[in-house]
């Protein structure tokens, strides 16, 4: 159990765009989506403030296929997975950094968008 807690994340949010499903040459599949996770707090003026953060999600294999078949933009979902950081060089040679959640499980919380 300790190993699963070392890099574990759970999020609940709303899907911002339709899922992009990519199928590779050898048949493996990858689903990519972004979810908005909103929190509310009261500022020092007593006003309720909504703060939204976007998280990139990636799923592979059967999980990717299930996500693409059952989820649409606007759905509220809960996901469990792990954080992944990677880098790449853009066209100008600049290093870009990406943080993603690699989804191991997901649960659809709403029926419609």
**pLDDT digits 0-9 by tens, 49-91:** 999 999 999 999 999 999 999 999 999 999 999 999 999 999 9
In contact, 102 and 81? CB cutoff 8 Å: yes
Superfamily of domain 2-85+102-108: Nucleic acid-binding proteins (2.40.50.140)
Q: pLDDT digit string (tens) for 14-58? A: 999 999 999 999 999 999 999 999 999 999 999 999 999 999 999
Its sign, for the CA torsion 80, 85, 89, 90, is positive
65: enclosing H helix or E strand: helix 61-70
pTM of the model: 0.83
Q: What is the pLDDT of residue 110?
A: 72
Locate the domains of the chain by residue range: 2-85+102-108
Residue 26: how many other CB atoms lie within 10 Å: 5
């Amino acid at each position: 159990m300790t190993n699963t807690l070392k890099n574990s994340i759970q999020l609940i949010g709303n899907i911002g765009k339709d899922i992009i499903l990519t199928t590779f040459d050898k048949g493996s599949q990858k689903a990519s989506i972004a979810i908005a996770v909103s929190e509310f707090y009261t500022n020092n003026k007593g006003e309720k403030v909504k703060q939204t953060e976007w998280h990139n999600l990636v799923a592979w294999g059967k999980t990717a296929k299930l996500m693409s078949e059952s989820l649409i933009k606007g759905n509220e979902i809960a996901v469990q997975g792990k954080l992944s950081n990677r880098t790449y060089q853009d066209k100008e040679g600049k290093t870009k950094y990406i943080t993603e959640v690699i989804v191991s499980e997901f649960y659809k919380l709403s029926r419609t968008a």
